[in-house]
A and B are shown apart, each in its own frame.
Chain A
Amino acid sequence: MAEHAHLEVNGLTKRFGGLLAVKDMALSVRAGEILGLIGPNGSGKSTVMKLIMGIERPDAGSVRINGVDVAGWPSHKIARRGAGIVFQHSRPLHRQTVLENIMLALLPDKLTRLFADPAVDARARAIAERVGLTAVLDRRPATLPFADLRKIEIAKAIARDPQVLLIDEPFAGLTAKETAAFSDLICELRDDGRAILLVDHNVKSVARLVDRVIAMYVGERIAEGTADVVMRNETVRRVYLGGSIETAARPESSFRDAATPFLAVEDVSVFYGKARALENVSIHVHAGEFVSVVGLNGAGKTTLFNAISGLLPYSGDIRREGASLRGQSAAAIARGGIVQCPEGRELFTDMTVRENLDLGGQHLAAAEAADQISWLFDLFPILRDRQRQPAGTLSGGEQQMLSIARALMMKPKLLILDEPTLGLAPVILEQISKALERLRQTTAITVLLGEQNVTFALPHADRVYVLEHARIVWEGEPARFAAEMGTGYL
């Protein structure tokens, strides 16, 4: 049935307001082939998937499924044309049993189906057997473990019998054993003659499965080839790791609060619903130290920072100067001197740069605030030039600088920076890097930096942690990192 099934995308383009999310994207997947589409957050890979499936409408380009151009069609028509999608986050119907969820995927799009068809029931059970859900057919999703929820998603995909299957982050949150089982299932589907597109953050997790890989960055293709070739590609490595790595670490013994570090995260675990986002993570940061937490998108950096900032429930303990932070509201933790500059920046876009900064200085006396602002204008001169402009009109790099400056207005003792370099041009990275360097040399501020771009992170680090799939897998000095982790990182 799925003889020459293939997916062919050409010139695919999508704009969201002023943001060009996908630019001129092209790819093709043949029947019986698995293509990996990788890229960091903001690269456009998820948007490409949504465009193919009709969840978003492309502004230009064609999407051919078995030769028919479906670009711009509503998603249900594309689904009936032979496309299927497994979403990154499981989305079962919560009030229905597992069996009903699978049966739904087998139903035709008719208004007249008034009586249950035993054939549908039987087929649903067969599919459940294939993925390993037979034991839980009569249970509701809320009572099931994470892996079973993912199995439901795969079961629904199998039920649709698509010729083109799109899978988003197939192994996120799964154990090694579960990942292996899933990989086998995906290979089976491939062997059935389907064309499969796997979308993920990095090559490593899908390297074993894919026949070819396409890497994306800021909406465009930057490399294509086998997994090996792409992993070693210069542009890809620069995008993910930055360039060559320099370090300038201060030894840990030079920090005076060895017994009670300024920040101590102990055995912290966080769950999003059933998915494990952090697993028994422990880190510590000394007063005045610059610590980098390095890891790819989806590794858990943001979750860790949100737990420290009090924005998420967690198990374990987080202590500041020995006293537990548990129970304090997020705003109280921020007022207490642990200030986060989040990945999304969270600027007040309709307010001017100056107003954003003023809000950061809410808790200071007027004179003190004024001093702080002029110091910050010195640190980031471009902000002085743009102070009367609405924050939303600034470029990405300028917005990042504003976000950091606003956080610094609060005179934090610990500044948490989450992926400040995401999506920024190298020139801007230079400026931000210089600013961080000045902070390190002229103030006693403590910094916790979460980054995927190792070249940016390492020169500013006294110590490095590596976070991978919700766990800390490495800790040590930056120099050692370059030697030990460098090659295997991607």
Chain B
Amino acid sequence: MRPFSTTRILLVGLSVVALASLLPLWVTGYILGLLTLAYYFGVFAMAWDLLFGFAGEVNFGPTFLIGTGAYTAGILDNVYQPPIWLCIAAGAFAAVAGGLVLALPALRVRGPYFGLTTLVAVLMLQNYVVVDASLTGGEIGLTVPDVISISDATNYEIALWFMAASGAILFALSRSPVGLILQASGQDAVQAGALGFNVTKHKLAAFVISAFFSGLAGALMVFYLGSASVGTFIDITVSVQIIIAAVLGGRRTILGAVLGAVFLIAMTEALRPIGDLANFVVFAMALVVVLLFPSGFFGLLTRTRESG
């Protein structure tokens, strides 16, 4: 069968996560904060990889889904102050609804049009947020009255275990029969149809799942940061970083996306001394990887010979 069974990989992953959960014992609050962000970022990237790596659709605007989830949760909290979990759930639902609205036209078109549709969605959301400033905080941003916790360690653990759970679900999904059908839908839609699979239905499902996890992670992050802004959740630069994280880590691996996310955040941090040039360097490195090592880290490690 496969070189490593799903259960074995999940068990290995679980042990790594368990180890990681011990980090607060040794590491400063600052680094915990970075890792917390990295874990949420990892979920964004994994959700993106499900859509791209499996359903074969390149989403240039994952921040449309993330931003919808984050802002819905944040605005709800600002206006009505319901319990946090309700806001988060609402955020996730809003992202799913947004995903459906985006998917319906997007799935009818092919190739570059799909990517462009997703880009347009992000721009529209960005425009809306900036324009309806009284509700959304506009360009300055939104602050929410509640946060989940003020303890670095608690926030870290929440992010870590959330990422672990999301990763486990997404990974298991990717390895399941449904995942196989998704891959077929993405790689060869005509063949998948001839084998009796409703490709549109499956791609829509992938969209919805990707939207759910993106929105959920976005909403959680709002209640971690205590604020939301265009620059953190919607800007096209964030979208690009998510794509880089997934591509660096290795497309179609799901778990690799987390590696890519951690690497990206670590790199940006490590380059902090050179100031504003840090972003430039990170993007430059990503470009080099895209040009020279298109299969990413995981691709290099496992070297699955798909193009013989």
Q: What is A's interface to B at a CB cutoff of 8 Å?
A: 53-55, 74-76, 79-80, 84-85, 87, 91, 93-97, 99-100, 103-105, 107, 109-117, 120, 138, 140-143, 156, 160
Q: Is the CB of A95 within 8 A of B306?
A: yes
Say which residue of B191, B305, B308 sits within 8 Å of A91 (CB atoms): B191
Told that A76-B199, A107-B197, A113-B181 touch, could you supply 13 new A-B pairs with CB distance under 8 A? A53-B194, A55-B194, A76-B197, A91-B191, A94-B306, A97-B2, A103-B180, A105-B195, A113-B176, A115-B177, A140-B305, A140-B308, A160-B195
Minimum distance in angstroms from A477 CB to a CB of chain B: 44
Number of A-B contacts (CB under 8 A): 101
Q: What is B's interface to A at a CB cutoff of 8 Å?
A: 1-2, 172-173, 176-178, 180-181, 183-184, 187-188, 190-199, 201-202, 205, 252, 304-308
Residues of A contacting B305 in the complex (Cβ-Cβ under 8 angstroms): 140, 142-143
Of all chain B residues, the one with the shortest Cβ separation from A105 is B195
Q: Is the CB of B177 within 8 A of A113?
A: yes
Of all chain B residues, the one with the shortest Cβ separation from A137 is B1
DSSP class of A's interface residues: helix, strand, loop or mixed?
loop
Residues of A contacting B177 in the complex (Cβ-Cβ under 8 angstroms): 103, 107, 113-117, 120
Say which residue of B172, B198, B308 sits within 8 Å of A109 (CB atoms): B198
Q: Is the CB of A160 within 8 A of B178?
A: no
Q: How far apart are the CA atoms of A239 and B196 in the complex, in Å?
A: 37
Q: Is the CB of A104 within 8 A of B306?
A: no
Q: Is the CB of A99 within 8 A of B180?
A: no
Say which residue of B181, B195, B201, B205 sits within 8 Å of A156 (CB atoms): B195
Q: Is the CB of A95 within 8 A of B304?
A: yes
Q: How far apart are the CA atoms of A93 and B304 in the complex, in Å?
A: 13
Residues of B contacting A100 in the complex (Cβ-Cβ under 8 angstroms): 180
Minimum distance in angstroms from B268 CB to a CB of chain A: 31
Q: Is the CB of A76 within 8 A of B198?
A: yes
Minimum distance in angstroms from B74 CB to a CB of chain A: 31
Q: How far apart are the CA atoms of A99 and B306 in the complex, in Å?
A: 15
Q: Is the CB of A142 within 8 A of B178?
A: no
Q: Is the CB of B183 within 8 A of A114?
A: no
Residues of A contacting B184 in the complex (Cβ-Cβ under 8 angstroms): 93, 104
Q: How far apart are the CA atoms of A97 and B195 in the complex, in Å?
A: 17
Minimum distance in angstroms from A268 CB to a CB of chain B: 23
Minimum distance in angstroms from A469 CB to a CB of chain B: 25
Given the known interface contacts A96-B180, A111-B178, A114-B177, the answer about A143 and B193 at a Cβ–Cβ threshold of 8 Å is: no
Residues of B contacting A97 in the complex (Cβ-Cβ under 8 angstroms): 1-2
Q: Is the CB of B196 within 8 A of A79?
A: yes
Of all chain A residues, the one with the shortest Cβ separation from B180 is A104
Q: How far apart are the CA atoms of A189 and B217 in the complex, in Å?
A: 52
Q: How far apart are the CA atoms of A116 and B180 in the complex, in Å?
A: 10
Of all chain A residues, the one with the shortest Cβ separation from B183 is A93
Q: How far apart are the CA atoms of A95 and B250 in the complex, in Å?
A: 14
Q: Which 8 pairs, one residue from A and one from B, show the smallest C-beta to C-beta distance?
A: A142-B308, A79-B196, A75-B193, A113-B177, A94-B306, A76-B193, A80-B196, A114-B176
19 contacting pairs across A/B (C-beta < 8 A): A75-B190, A79-B194, A91-B188, A95-B183, A95-B304, A97-B2, A104-B184, A107-B180, A109-B196, A113-B176, A113-B177, A114-B177, A114-B178, A115-B177, A116-B176, A142-B305, A142-B306, A142-B308, A160-B195
